[in-house]
Amino acid sequence: MTPYKMTTVNDILNISTYKFVDIDDPEGLRETWLARALDEGLKGTILLAHEGVNLFLAGQASAVRAFVAFMHQDARFADIEPKESWSSTQPFKRMLVKCKREIIRMNHPTIRPAGGRAPAVRAETVKRWLDQGYDDQGRPVVTLDTRNAFEVDAGAFEGAIDWRITRFGEFPAAAQAHLAELKGKTVVSYCTGGIRCEKAAIYLQELGLDSVYQLEGGILKYFEEVGGAHYQGDCFVFDERVGLAPDLSATH
């Protein structure tokens, strides 16, 4: 007699996305989006600020995609393309929509990506640069991790620069202290999903670096498009999955 074998069904769709865009009415948007998310039975966190939106949601695929379609009805968010992964369980405990001063706190109000973002480089290009060790102009390439130290410890690009910051608000001071080590190189800043490295790249440009890029979509988009090449370990995520492997499966 063949023993019964349980199978894991990954039927919970997880999405993450952000956009820097001017929002005049984050409080009004909060009420509307919270009501719609609850109607769809979703759980997760949405952060709204005058500078934009940052969200992490999970639920049945049809419900998640219905919420994304609802967002797309607003011209400010019509081009949002969330990153997707799947899990067998709901990784969030509740549905929260919060209004904040910044969707990712840097404590540097002059950095406003909605007014013009730093150049972005796609995963395929980053992989090719790391394969060869230099960019298309022959400049040496370095990756700069803009995440907190404990996130880096879970996994990072091989040889990445890590300033051991404990919160993103420390990044500007760390950048000023270590600027000399970045000069003459092509710097690819990266983070989990793109939001921190976008602000970081703009700040590094303001400090005078002339070859700075952000990794488009962060580590999660890199995993989705090219897998784990040049990356060691997992990608820490702020939900009950804790970490994601290069195939975007939960590791905890």
Catalytic residues: 191
Tell me the two tokens of residue 149.
Answer: 């130290």
Report the C-alpha gap between 62 and 178 in whole angstroms: 47
Report the C-alpha gap between 248 and 234 in whole angstroms: 9
Report the C-alpha gap between 14 and 120 in whole angstroms: 24
Report the C-alpha gap between 132 and 230 in whole angstroms: 12
Report the C-alpha gap between 248 and 84 in whole angstroms: 9
The one-letter amino acid at 17: T
Q: Identify whether the C-beta of residue 81 lies closer than 8 Å to the C-beta of residue 94.
A: no
